[in-house]
Chain A
Amino acid sequence: MLNVENIDVRYGAIHALKNVSISVGESEIVTVVGSNGAGKSSLLRAIAGTTKVSKGSISFKKQRINSLSAPSRVKSGLTLVPEGRQIFVSMTVEENLLLGAHSRTGSEVKNSIESIFDRFSNLAERRNQLASVLSGGEQQMLAIGRAMVAKPRLMMLDEPSLGLSPILVSQLFELIKELHSQGISILIVEQNTKLALKTAQRGYILELGSVRQEGTVDELAADKILAEAYLGESN
């Protein structure tokens, strides 16, 4: 479904991504793990179209999307839940969801929004309240709900567990599995490596802007360096 081939991303003199290649198949959960500054968020932003790639190719549903703008990528079924939720706090919960459905038109939008309220009762109770009054967990649910109403084929999540309590994190990953069961492919960038590897089917380890290793989650979990660096295990 998604093929990223040999992409480079540069911010001036900083070479954030070097020759990175990843792929996400139909109905697959793929994770990208790595430390701070490894280039994980840059990778997602490059796929979403908000950061330009200086080299390489990005294809989605067998079509090269390098030249597509971020809104066109959303329309084609590719959404990103950005790091830190980034919901619009001056808008109501419902307005945030309406905005998530901006790329869609027609009466189905209303049904999609109602289905989000059916799924998240906390949000339904606060549908006309400003999003600023939501708790961190509710804001994350809203951010995911906002991405869901865009009817994505591939949803990318950037550090979704950031700042959430352990209970909320576990609920969040249950939700991600539920989305996957509905046929949505998932690409998740996460610092909580244990949880990411537990949820995903395949993964990539990103280090200093390059893919250091890729494989099934079992293969990655067996990696000695990964175990020491990210899973807190040592011999």
Chain B
Amino acid sequence: MSGYLAGVLAILGINIIFAYSIYITAATGQLNLGGAGFQAIGAYACAILSNEIGLPISLTLMFSAILGGAISFLIAFPVLRTKGVYMVLATFAIAEIVAGIILNSSYLGGPTGMIINTYIETEVVLIVAIIVILLSFYMMSTRIGLAMRAVHDDEAVADLMGVNKRAIQVGAFALGGAIAGLSGGLYALYFGFIEAQYFNANISIFVLLYVLIGGTQTAWGPLLGASFFTLIPEALRIGDDWRFFIFGVIIVAMMILRPEGIVTRDALDRVSTRLFPGKSNV
């Protein structure tokens, strides 16, 4: 595998995992614009555990996820009191607070960042990505996934079905934070260097776009959205300076043509009906 291809695949893997972190939250109807903050928490946790304590890679990744999840869980209670645009702003503010803490902490390297002593190969990133994808698909097929979709579609009716919407939303937010932390840990270990400036608002916006462009109705959405956002700009490199313009036009076109995302349940139903006439299975 060439170095370039390995690099693209590693970024793809990290982006896909990151996209699932936002998707899990979005699947319950909450938009998290603070993805970069939770990713940064995982990345810095990984860096410290690896450099200072020398934990093995598997444990550093595990703790990155646990810390991301634990902080998300604690934040979930005040954040989930907000709704709609206020929630988007609240999560955005959290990411800014995290970046601010890192920038002002000499222990965390401040604006100069941190070098990580250990590293991982592309294969590790891809294996973790596959595990996250499979677990996400599995979760969305269980009664918990069904309850998440119900809360997403109509909180009040979900309540009437016996779904504890608060528990579902807090759980999804915490799980999303854990997966974002995991993606941050992988980023730190793969690139060997992290700085607060990387975990900026653009990253949070992009990962939310992965999910919205991919579609929030099914677990295929983040996979396709992250792949689209990672691979299309690479493919457009032949267009030199025009590639971002062309990519921008493609995004606008996607939003006009597929406002609910590339993959919707309706589209899956149609494909399923064509492939298996007489047995629709979304």
Contact = CB atoms under 8 A, between A and B. Distances in A.
Interface of A: 48-50, 69-71, 74-75, 79-80, 82, 86, 88-92, 95, 98-100, 102-103, 128-130, 132, 146, 150
Interface size class of B (residues with CB under 8 A): 20 to 34
B241 interface: no
A90 B265 contact: yes
Interface in B258-272: 265-266, 269
Nearest to B260: A90
Contacts, number: 79
A102 B162 contact: yes
7 contacts: A50-B156, A71-B161, A91-B149, A95-B146, A128-B279, A128-B282, A130-B280
A79 B146 contact: no
B162 A75 contact: yes
Contact of A102 (B147, B217, B266): B147
Contact of B154 (A49, A88, A100, A132): A88
A169 B281 CA distance: 31
A98 B146 contact: yes
A128 B280 contact: yes
Interface of B: 143, 146-147, 149-150, 153-154, 156-164, 217, 265-266, 269, 279-282
A89 B265 CA distance: 10
B157 A71 contact: no
Given A50-B156, A86-B154, A98-B146, A130 B265 contact: yes
A88 B154 CA distance: 8
A116 B127 CA distance: 42
Contacts of B269: 129-130
Given A50-B156, A82-B157, A128-B279, A71 B164 contact: yes
Contacts of A80: 160
A50 B150 contact: no
Contacts of B159: 49-50, 69-71
A89 B154 CA distance: 10
B282 to A, nearest CB: 6
B160 A48 contact: yes
